[in-house]
Structures are given as C-alpha cells and as structure tokens.
Amino acid sequence: MKLRQDNKDYPNPNPEVERIENKSAVEAKTKKRSETNPQRPGYGVAGKKVVLWANYFNLHSKKDVEFYRYSVTIAADSRGRVPVGKKVKRIIQLLLEDHLFGSYGSNIATDFKSNLICRVELDLDEEDEGQGNNEFVVTYRSEEEDVPAQNAIQYRCRIQFTGSLTLSELVNYLTSTQAGLMFGSKEEIIQALNIVLGYYPKADDSTITVASNRHFDTKATDRMSLGAGLQVIRGFFMSVRTATARVLVNVQVKNMAFYENGPLDRLMGAFMAGNRGANKVDLLKFVKGLTIDRTHLVNKNSTGKRIPKLKKVEGFATKDDGRRLAHPPIVPQFGAGAKEVQFYLEDSPVDSSSKPGPAAGGGGKKGKKGVKKAGPDPPPRGRYISVFDFFKEKYNTTIKDPSLPVINVNGKDNPSYLPAEVCEVPPGQPARAKLSSAQTQQMIRFAVRRPVHNAKSIVTSGGKLLGFEPTNATLDAFNITVPPKLITVPGRVLNAPAVKYSTPGVVMPRFGGWDMRSVKFATKADLPSWTYLRISLQGGRSAWPSEADFIAKMDELQAKLRELGISVNNYLAGGHLNASGQQVENGIDQWIHRFAVSPRRPKLILVIIPDAAMTVVYNRIKYMCDVKEGILNVCVVDSKFSRANPQYLANVGLKFNLKLGGRNQALDPPKLGFIGQKRTMVVGIDGTHPSPGSSTKAPSVAAIVASVDEWLSQWPADIRVQPARQEMVADLETMFKSRLLLWRERNKTLPDNILVYRDGVSEGQYDIVINEELPALRAACKTLYPVSATKSDKPHITIIIVGKRHNTRFYPTKKEDADRGGNPMNGTVVDRGVTEARNWDFFLQAHTAIQGTARPAHYYVVYDQIFRDLKSTQFATAADALEDLTHNLCYLFGRATKAVSICPPAYYADLVCTRARCYLSGLFDPSSSSSPDTSSVGTAAATGPAVPDASLVTIHSNVRNAMFYV
C-alpha cells in the first residue's frame, strides 16, 4: 500500500453509505429532538474535502445467516475449586474435542470463557455418558497429554441454549433511515461476530491473545529486545464495529512487552544487569506470577513428546515460610540461595524412587498402594537438606549460581522450592511490570513507524494472523468473508484559527504550530518575588561548570520572562541542596518549608532537578509545594536547563504565566462562538486508575477543571480520591459546586450554559455519565441557581465524551493531502463512513503528530441542551458548530505553541490526574520512594476497598485556584 496521488488509484467512499447517511440526516430533522443520546443534527460540511484510508475492513456475509447462542457453565471440581483463566480455555477445548468437535467441525466458535456461537443448532437430545441432555463430563489433561492421567480431575460442563440471532436484522437496522428505530439485539450480534472472528487466532497454539481482542504471534520475527529480560512483539487488535449501512472490522497494530522465554536464571540475570541498583524485592516483583516449566521433571506421552510441568512463581524463600509445618524449612534471609535454603526430607525406605516432598518442588511424596498395617504410624525419619544438595543427589544437577534466590511455587504455608536453573519460561507471557525509562525508549523506537508502514502491516500481516486471507475454516462455515482491504472515508480539513498575543497581535499557525519569537503574552502576570532551589546528588556529575554559569542561566531566564511580558522582580538568592539519594526527600522538605516561613516568602520557586533522580525529586517537590506549603513552583531538568535556548526558556515562561494567572494566547471571540458571550463555563472531567505494579491500596483519582473567563485561559482544578476502579466520579456534586462558586466569584453571576468534556470513559460506561454523573451536576446547580432557573431546566448542559484510547486511524490517499510525517493534515475531521447515522460523534485530528501515526480524538455527544437550540449564521448545522469549536479549542492549550491532540478541558483534567499520581507515588509506583507518608493509608470500610486519606491530594488554599498542575 502506498500514498495515492490520483483518484484512479484508490476506491471512492461507498456511495450507498453516503446516500443512506444523507437520507438519515433529513429524516432526523422531522423527529422530536432528544436531549439524551441526541440524534446527529446533520453532517459537517465545513473545510477542505479529502478522502482517507481508514483501518477498517468490510465484513461480508449472507444476510440470512443465523447464529445459535449457547452458554457454557463449568461446575467446581471435587475439591470445590472453580477453574479460571487458562484452565477454562483448556476445559472448553476438551469439551469441543471430546464431545462436539467431531460431529460439528468448524460450525462452532467459542470465546473459551462461557459462550458458544454455532452455525447450526446443536443436538442436545441424545444423552452423553448418562449425564443428561445438556451436561458433559470433561476429564482434564494438558495439551501435550494424549490420555488423561490416572488421577485426572473431572469437570461437569453444562451447555444451555440462550437464543438465536440473525445477521440480517443488524444489517437492516444499520441500513434503515428511521431516526427513532431501536434494535435490542445489536450488542448481542456484535458480541457473536467478535467471538466468531476471534476464534481462529485464539485457537491457534502459536498465537497469544491478551484481553480478548489483542493477538500476538509468538513465532513472529517482528519483535525486538527491550533489555532487562523483556521483548516487544508486534501484534494486532481486532474488533467488529457497526457503521451506517454496514458491518466493519477494526484492525490496528499493537506493540506489547513480553517476557523473554528461556531459562529463568538467564531472565533474572538479564533483569539485574539491566537495572543496576535493583534489589531482590525488585527482582521478585519482576518474576512473581510468571508461569514456569519444571525441566527436571520429565514425563512423556505415548508419542514420546515431553509433557510440560507448569507452575507459577509465588515468591522467593522467606523466613516465615511453612511456619505451621512439623518441620518448617530453614531460610536465613529473604531471597536466600540454593545452598542456604534447607527443607526437611523424609526418608522413604518403602519407595526410595518416590518424588521428593513438597519443599523440594516435586509435588508431594507418594507411597505404594496397599492395605494399611494395623497399629500407629512409625515416627518419621528424615533430615534437613539444602536445595543445592538435594538437586545434586536426586537429579545429578549442580546449581551453577547458588547465590540466585530459589523460587517458591507453592505459597508460604506449604512452600515448594526450586532453583531458577531448572525453570524454563514458556513464550508469550505479557509483562505486567512497569517499563524502565531505557525500556520505554526501546519500545518507542520499535513502535513508532510511519503511517504507511502500519497500514501495510494491517493489510498483510494482520489479515494473515487473524485468518482473513486465506479465509479460515470457521469463517467459511459461517459464510463470512473479511477481505483485508482498507476502506476509504470522506474527511474535511478545517482551517486553523489565528492565534492572538498582545505583541505582535496575530500569529498564523503553520502545520498546527507557531513559535514565540518577538511575542508578548496576551495578558501579563505579576511576579513580585521568586527564587530557586537547585538540587544535585552527592557524587553525581554537575550540569554546571561553575556557579557563575548557573547564575548566568538564571539571569537569561529572568530576561526572557520580561521579554514575554511578565512583570517580574529580580529573583531572590535561592538554595542548593546536595544530598544522597536517601536524604534528598528530607532535604527537599526542609528547604521548601524554609522558603514558606521566610519573611520574604517567594510567590514561586524554580526547582532545578537532577536527571538521575528526576521522578523521586519531582514527586516530592510537587507534594511539598502544592499540598503541604502552598507555593507555586516550576520544575526544570538540570541537563536541559543548562543548555536551554530561547525557545526552551519561552516554554518555561508559558508555565510561569499560567500559574501566575496570566493569559498566554487567545482567539478572536467569533472563533469561540457562544462561549465568547461570557455566559458559558467549559468543564473538563477525568479519572485515573491504578496501573500494573501499583499497590493494592492505590485508589482511583477523579479530577475536574473549569474555565473562569470567556477567553478560556485559566482553568482552576479540584481533585478527589475514591475506591479503585470506580468509573463514576463519586463526589462530583461537591467538586462541580466548587467550580460554579469560583465562576460566580470571578464573573459576579452564574453561567447560563455548561459545556462538559468528559474524559476517561469507555464505550460501555456512557450510561454511567447520564444516569449518575448528570444528576450530580444538576444537584449542584439546584443548590446555587434560583428556583425559577432550575425549574426551567437551566443552566443548559451539554456533555461530550472524549475518547483517546480507541483504535481508529486514518491515512491520506493523496500525497498532497499528507503532512510531513505522512499523516492527514492537522484539522482533519471525519464524521462519516465509520460512524453511525443515529449517533452524534466525530473524529478530530487537530494536531500534527511529532512522530509515528497520528491518533485522532473521538468526540461523542451523550447529552445536549446547548447546540440543539443554537442559532448561528456562521454554520450550516450544529455538527459544524461543535466540530469547529472543538477544533479551535485545541489552539488554546496554554502550555504549548501548537494545537494539541485533545481539547484543553480534557487535557487539563488529565494533567490534574497525573499530578495526583505524583502526590500518591508511594501507592501508584511503590518501586520509587513515596512522596507523602503512606502510613496514613486507611480503609473506607472494614470490607471495602482501600482509600487513602483525602488530605494527601488536598491542594493548599494558597494555590488551589491557580493552575498548579501545568
């Protein structure tokens, strides 16, 4: 695939789709408008028309294809254990192989969890092994075993018919132009199609599926080492999507980190070598949960193939292991090695060839079958033996590195120890650990590619891995084809707005950006007193040849601030903290407090932080300044600041002016439409959740920002912590009320309109925003607005979901429609082709991507009271008004001299969440030093999820109404 330069070389967008879209728009105008999930008010027409490739394939099938849906329920085994994860997949595989596969072949697809989708109706009338007409007994065996073991566990699987689905119903719904038409089976049919299409890669032994729809070929050559025991593999995301008049398959390149397969001791060595300074605690975090194969145990099936003996790494040896055992193991220290760890080995004269006891990792001792003799059991005879000596005696294996921690694969109560050298890491295990900075750089090097290369991979490698070409047997049986050819869609490129400064007045962006040479901020801020804190690590390399060089750079920054228009007095003599890594946080606390209580208390501190401890120092500075002492602060990295050119210093000035309450840039009022009338408050809401590697006590964080002026220059914020993984903003009423009060304080009135950009909500959670968050907004309004206003449903509220984590990408079809990176031009908007006529949504790529494939933002209107009644002579439809406004907003992100990828309300709310993670770094990133004292963590209830003390994220009153987070 290549960028096309004339209309003859690529297919035009489907004219039938466009016809139905247009007809649907006309039909919608005749219907009563709904506030909730409003109908699309027509399609946008503004901007230069372009044709784009989209990373979607057409799904073709016979319209009368009928699916039969069945649920699969697996009962607990004889020990009362319900299978989970990979065991469930294997049980369903055996269910199909031993009971259904032979007779139905490719007419059955499954998600390997709880669903079967069948092309034909299953005959469940005949009894199977006397278990009834819908219950089957599955005798468990591993994939390499051709017959079950003698003591194999049995599972009872119940199959129940849950209904039939006809694909033609979905197609008819998507093709219909009736605005109010409802179709309750839509999600069920999409789920069935996802199961059918995903069955081929999930059933393939060489393909690893992550999170149901990301597929990676473990034998692929498209991979690269990330160092420190990890590698990145390029795979593909696949999902069935609906659009006007057709069903599409979204395919996107995915790059994911996996553990290097091979000997576990080699993996552990690679981690330690790649993370200098890492200790055994860090090493355990890296390997805990890994599945390993115990290579010293050799069992073979009838064909001579070795049967893997898999276990999970539960931990390292600790002093507390096996406390309740009659003969607990002897472990001198955490992470002890093979010569140090001893376990009690019982002698077994009856069967000297039996496997070792649990402490040696052998799975328990077995005696010969027979009748038990009368009388008491003889006292046990045994001895303590080290793991090192045991493997030398039992398996003739000499451990080469006895200092490496032994692995516990059976938990603390009844430990089972293995040396890492007899453990093999099978391929295809996703890395759960947070990548180091070096690994992140390697990941970016591998993942960042020109758009055309990703498009080629989707069509070629993606089509093959997913079984689209050649068409796999399951799709054939279901009469489905998915030709791996990208579709084309119509797009439009909106004009960039002029950006205004006080001097020279107007700057015209080029390629979505502009520079700050010879400009002064739109409104200046005052900085009557400020100082600096320079931090360095003892023994570290200084970024400054001399103190005079540092002072010269401070003078240069001060001159740049004045050049930009900030009214700044000369900086006060600051401080220099030179401390060891262990002492740096205490030193920061002392210095910041000293500044806070000084008679010449500075309004702002410039903090110069060292590269070597950037994260720890940054987190501590933000916590101490924002939360504890209430002093505005700007952080710079010493290596960058020492070499700073005028553009870098100007970027630092952007933060100074914003935090001090100034306005960096502005747009002409007409570019902001009704917002320029001083009656509309724009709000951004976002949430963040614990990531892999976070403490179990890590909470979710909710943030809100809101404009306080008609120029949209200042966005004060509020933060709350709440139980982990909770999607809804729990204390939204109080948070929103605080924003209304601040608006009233600044404007002497309350806003007539509230425009909300809600970030951090997945597609399946849109209803939460309507059913739970909208009432909270209304409740806050009810307490502040007069009764006459709330009775007439005022203020008017519009809520738009902002999506960043979707998988839609666009590629230019013509070279002249591409930017320098091969992406669509900044300002590209798409509301046709990959959208549904009944939904009001659009994709907007407002920015120019620095590198790689640009990701457009997705905007979806879930509630509207503003745009439906908008009277505008400037725009043909409300769709144009919203698209243009959202695009123009992207030029008002105060921290940059370019259009940003998502509109500022959502972007700022995201930054607030990121800042809260700094305050709670001891919970979100336990591997680094904590900022606040995490001993204050408590629980919301005795049985509820842990929620930290709210004071850890409560912003000091001195800076609460400033943009402390930028």
Quickly list DSSP for 667-684.
--GGGGGGGGGT-EEEEE
Provide mean pLDDT across the span 292-305.
86
Show the domains of the chain with their CATH numbers: 61-261+439-485 (no CATH), 262-363+380-426 (2.170.260.10), 524-659 (3.40.50.2300), 669-937 (3.30.420.10)
Per-residue pLDDT band at 539 (split at 50, 70, 90):
confident
Structure tokens at 480: 């489905």
Question: With 80 as the cut, is the pLDDT of residue 555 above it?
Answer: yes
Burial of residue 613 (CB within 10 Å: 0-12, 13-18, 19+) is: buried
Least confident interval from 379-383, 454-458, 734-738: 379-383
pLDDT reported for residue 376 = 61
Across the chain, what does the average pLDDT equal? 89
pLDDT reported for residue 231 = 95
pLDDT reported for residue 349 = 44
Structure tokens at 938: 């408590």
Per-residue pLDDT band at 305 (split at 50, 70, 90):
confident
Per-residue pLDDT band at 1 (split at 50, 70, 90):
very low
pLDDT in tens, 463-490: 999 999 999 999 999 999 999 999 999 9
Least confident interval from 577-581, 821-825, 891-895: 577-581
pLDDT reported for residue 927 = 62
Q: How far is CA 411 from CA 131, 407, 536, 578, in A?
A: 37, 10, 43, 44
Question: With 90 as the cut, is the pLDDT of residue 893 above it?
Answer: yes
Q: What are phi and psi of 862, to 5 degrees?
A: -100, -15
pLDDT reported for residue 378 = 59
pLDDT reported for residue 792 = 82
What DSSP string runs through 59-126?
Answer: -EE-TT-EEEEEEEEE---TTSPPP-THHHHHHHHHHIIIIIHHHHGGGEEE-SSSEEEESS-----S
Strands 841-845 and 857-863: antiparallel
Task: For 401-541, list the strands marked E by DSSP.
Answer: 407-408, 417-418, 423-425, 480-481, 487-493, 499-500, 506-507, 526-527, 530-537
pLDDT reported for residue 357 = 44
pLDDT reported for residue 929 = 45
Least confident interval from 32-36, 316-320, 892-896: 32-36
Torsion of CA 399, 400, 406, 408, to 10 degrees: -50
pLDDT reported for residue 943 = 40
pLDDT reported for residue 144 = 79
pLDDT reported for residue 947 = 65
pLDDT in tens, 442-454: 999 999 999 999 9
Between 498 and 938, the higher pLDDT residue: 498
CB atoms within 10 A of CB 505: 9
Per-residue pLDDT band at 764 (split at 50, 70, 90):
confident
pLDDT reported for residue 8 = 56
- What percent of the chain has a predicted confidence (pLDDT) above 90? 69
Between 886 and 166, the higher pLDDT residue: 886
List Cβ<8 Å contacts ≥24 apart for 90-99: 90/140, 90/142, 90/143, 91/138, 91/140, 91/155, 91/157, 92/157, 93/143, 93/203, 94/138, 94/139, 94/140, 94/141, 95/136, 95/138, 95/157, 98/138, 98/139, 99/128, 99/136, 99/138
Provide mean pLDDT across the span 610-631.
93
Q: How far is CA 416 from CA 322, 399, 420, in A?
A: 10, 17, 13
Per-residue pLDDT band at 941 (split at 50, 70, 90):
very low
pLDDT reported for residue 17 = 95
pLDDT reported for residue 352 = 37
Per-residue pLDDT band at 694 (split at 50, 70, 90):
confident
Closest among 539, 543, 602, 595 to 570, alpha carbons compared: 602
Closest among 582, 705, 683 to 955, alpha carbons compared: 705
- What percent of the chain has a predicted confidence (pLDDT) above 70? 92
Question: With 70 as the cut, is the pLDDT of residue 861 above it?
Answer: yes
Structure tokens at 403: 């200092």
Provide mean pLDDT across the span 331-338.
94
pLDDT reported for residue 935 = 31
pLDDT reported for residue 374 = 53
pLDDT in tens, 90-138: 999 999 888 876 678 899 999 999 999 999 988 876 544 444 468 889 8
Contacts of 108 (CB under 8 A, 6+ apart): 96, 100, 101, 116, 117, 118, 119, 122
Question: With 50 as the cut, is the pLDDT of residue 934 above it?
Answer: no
Per-residue pLDDT band at 528 (split at 50, 70, 90):
very high
Between 503 and 667, the higher pLDDT residue: 667
Question: With 60 as the cut, is the pLDDT of residue 936 above it?
Answer: no
| Residue recorded with tokens 């050559």 | 221
| Residue recorded with tokens 């000369």 | 570
Closest among 106, 108, 121, 101 to 163, alpha carbons compared: 121
pLDDT in tens, 182-236: 666 889 999 999 999 999 999 998 999 998 899 999 888 889 999 999 999 999 9
Report how far Cα 742 is from the mean position of its chain's Cα atoms: 33
Question: With 50 as the cut, is the pLDDT of residue 379 above it?
Answer: yes
CA angle in degrees (0–180, nearest 5) for 664-669-671: 95
